[in-house]
Structure 1
Amino acid sequence: MTKSDTKDLTLLGNQHTDYHYEYSPDVLETFENQHQENNYFVKFNAPEFTSLCPMTGQPDFAAIYISYIPDVRMVESKSLKLYLFSFRNHGAYHEDCVNIMMKDLVKLMDPRYIEVWAKFTPRGGLSIDPYCNYGKPGTMFEEMANKRLMQHDLYPEKVDNR
């Protein structure tokens, strides 16, 4: 990445970061993919995600996994951290959180492929692990998304009560 690639980024290296305590997709920033000729995964793991239960207002905690194959634009990581932080006081069900994230990132980057998976800690003895994905329509990535969705939980990981 060169200096010209980052000229439009306002958060990277900014020592006076403004934290949004309410859901804010506007904080997301992108930069140009320098390897558009390659198909490759970019993976983010956010083990300290929090949001609020819309019914009780109690906090929900999760590890969020975002994997995507970029096309022209890529999400800048600090802006993604701030975006995830903006869910802190946002009331949304677990399934809503992952679908909102995926849709916001698709709108932002128009990736070839993306998936978002959350592993929420148990509440009331039950954990919820929603997964969603998207493949660019009319491409091999649309087919990939369908296959990954159908095979997503064929081999569930060991449950360890997180």
Structure 2
Amino acid sequence: MERSEELTILGRKSDYKQDYAPEVLEAFVNKHQENDYWVRFNCPEFTSLCPITGQPDFAEIRISYLPDVKMVESKSLKLYLFSFRNHGDFHEDCINIIMKDLIKLMDPKYIEVTGIFTPRGGISIYPYSNYGRPGTKYEELAIYRLKNHDL
């Protein structure tokens, strides 16, 4: 199957969703499944809304993963992250939702998501979540990375 047959968003006019839209995420087949390698995304312009006050929250979202069979397509990821713009959730919820949606989409060997939220009210929050496929060395990697996590 050609990648152009797997993807429906790439190369087309962007349709920006106004609220949380996991359905925009698309994946394609990893051509290097026999290799362990990192794929990293950095989204320095992430925004969401505080679920209590409705005030905007701004963050840099960092996503790193070790792909297996499927990989996330970057334009669909951009549209997905943009869909949080009018979505109300706490920082920690956003990070865990993003990670869980990407696990559901790709079933990666390992993934971690970090949010570096800008200060509001004099405090900044940097939530981090990770996952390693259970029963594998990637589960051990997740335990190690969580135990030794530091920005």
TM-score class, shorter:
over 0.9
SS of match in other structure, 2:105: helix
The alpha-carbon deviation at position 17 of structure 1 amounts to 1.8
2:149 and 2:47 map into 1 onto residues whose CA distance is: 24
| 1:131 aligns to 2:110 (yes or no) | no
Question: Residues 13-162 of structure 1 correspond to what in structure 2 (within 5 A)?
Answer: 13-14=11-12, 16-153=13-150, 156=151
Residue 12 in structure 1 maps to residue 10 in structure 2: yes
When the two structures are aligned, how many residues end up with a matched partner?
A: 151
TM-score normalised to structure 2 length: 0.98
Paired letter, 2:95: V
Structure 2 residue runs without a partner (length 5+): none
The separation in 2 between residues aligned to 1:20 and 1:8, in whole angstroms, is 21
TM-score normalised over the length of structure 1: 0.91
- Is the 8 Å Cα contact of residues 6 and 31 (structure 1) preserved in structure 2? no
Q: Return the offset for 1:18.
A: 1.2
1:87-127 residue CA offsets vs partner (Å, 9 max, x unmatched):
00000000000000000000000000000000000001100
Sequence identity (%) = 68
Map Cα deviations across residues 60-80 of structure 1 (whole Å, 9 max, x no partner): 000000000000000000000
Unpaired segments ≥5 residues, structure 1: 157-162
Secondary structure at 1:7 match in 2: helix
